[in-house]
A and B are shown apart, each in its own frame.
Chain A
Amino acid sequence: MTEWLGSIIQGFLIGGLYAMFAAGLAIIFGVMRLVNITHGDLIVLAAFVAMVAIEITGVNPFVSLVIVLPFMFVFGYVLQRVVLNFTLGDDLLPPLLVTFGISIILQNLLLELFSADSQRLKAGPVETLSIKVMEGLEIGVLPLVIFVVAILMIVIIQQLFNRTRLGRAFRATSDDPVTAQLMGINHNHIFALAMAMALVLVGIAGVFLGIRTNFDPSIGPSRLLFAFEAVIIGGLGSIWGTLAGGIILGVAQNVGAKIDPGWQILAGHIAFLIVLVVRPNGLFPRTRDE
């Protein structure tokens, strides 16, 4: 019994990591109506940037965020301003195709630079620390930290969108870019800022991914899939929904793995399909403006 409980709790906590993957994707889609196929590869890119930063400076992975996050911010701003802004319009297809292309370029670039070897960010003893809740049930400190960071991240995004001038500009530009221009908003700049912010979240997610599991240049697309599923389960446009989506996905995967190790990924997809059938708009559709 405690074993099952343990699996569920672990799944719950890994939901935090999935929510991190998904939050950036949700912002990008929410503000720019841009489906970012390269999202998973950007997570992997962030992990590699952290790896290089650690190799050069010798700092702990958590400290490497000081380098990774500004890098991702600038990368996101430039990517949106120089490339992706030109793909936006009434048609969803051009950004889809362009980000798909960037995904392939990024994967091969990372492969060329870092080879296909599996990598890991070593964070030291925190990786294996755990808290004993009861006999036979321990909770890892690292998953707990990731979960708490995910919640903080979502609270901060929510506050930024609802309470700040920049947040209002994001929402207004997302609603109606033309009228937003009449307010004095340069929508190209606002979109670039939204992408920069989303990639900061991707940076955090990438570093935690690298600490938690092995990564190599090819794992991006499956992270993208988890992120998509978390966003869709939660409901498009709802930032708290991404956390719920991430948790449901994480619990389903861990319970699936408990039944049979081969079932881990499949169980997540099945949970996703069930939600799609029962609530096609997700669990919390469009609550962003509450």
Chain B
Amino acid sequence: MSLLEVNNLSAFYGDFQALFNIDFSMEEGETLAVIGANGAGKSTFLKTITGLVDTEVDDLNYNGVSIGGLSAADIVGLGIAMVPEGRRLFPSLNVEENLLMGGYKGRQGHWTLDRIYELFPALIERRTVPGTALSGGEQQMTAIGRALMANPDLLLFDELSLGLAPIIIKNIYETLPKIKSEGVSVLLVEQDINQALSVSDRVYCFQEGRVSLNGLPNTLSREQISAAYFGS
């Protein structure tokens, strides 16, 4: 049984259709990347999985249970957490309070405050600092820690590297194996194609709301990806 199965998913913003008949599946333990140009529907896709964008009931199956049409608040309780694009830390909360918000649902598992500080030691001395006073890298660490506090089985990253310095991106990607070793499956949306191909087991490319390519990173040629990315 797949961890996440998406069948013929379409999504709309009012009259505007953002996703067309997406079929997608992901196994437990996999790291999967979704690439594509701006406006290809990658972020919308993540929002449908987390329940922020409405879907039909049968469109999404998670661990064999239909999660289409559930609210975002319910879905995180089932073990799907997201690191949103632009981090979206709560400005009135300090770092530790932001992390605690991630554990709001009280889902039990490996991740606790101490384990997050173990993963990101840089956050320890920043724990009482408001989220907005952090550097971009520290903000991203806090956002990842906050999502992990939900003890997810499936973790979604939306534009992990956007707006960060290369060295910071490298540091953050180096924590991925540690996160995965705790049994978390990872689905990441990434504009940095090289980064996405190097960490993922499988890659999907989206173009104008449709899946244009799907395969193993080392079997795809540059030309194939380029065609799927920009259209031909």
Contact = CB atoms under 8 A, between A and B. Distances in A.
A181 B77 CA distance: 11
Interface residues of B, number: 27
B92 A169 contact: no
A184 B88 contact: no
Interface in B52-95: 52, 71-74, 76-77, 81-82, 84, 88, 90-94
A32 B81 CA distance: 25
A182 B71 contact: no
Contacts of A289: 91-94, 130
A179 B73 contact: no
A139 interface: no
B interface majority secondary structure = mixed
Q: How large is the interface on A (under 10, 10 to 19, 20 to 34, 35 or more residues)?
A: 10 to 19
B50 to A, nearest CB: 6
Given A175-B91, A183-B150, A169 B101 contact: yes
B97 interface: yes
A289 B168 CA distance: 29
Interface in A120-165: 165
A168 B72 contact: no
A16 B204 CA distance: 62
A33 interface: no
Contact of A183 (B52, B94, B101): B101
Given A172-B90, A185-B104, A289-B92, A178 B76 contact: no
By Cβ-Cβ distance, the 8 closest A-B pairs, closest first, are A184-B105, A181-B72, A289-B92, A179-B88, A184-B76, A175-B90, A172-B90, A171-B92
16 contacts: A165-B104, A169-B104, A176-B88, A176-B90, A180-B101, A181-B51, A182-B52, A182-B81, A182-B84, A183-B101, A183-B146, A183-B150, A184-B77, A184-B150, A186-B73, A289-B94
Given A182-B84, A184-B150, 14 more contacts: A174-B92, A176-B88, A179-B84, A179-B88, A180-B90, A180-B101, A181-B71, A182-B76, A183-B102, A183-B104, A183-B105, A184-B74, A185-B104, A288-B92
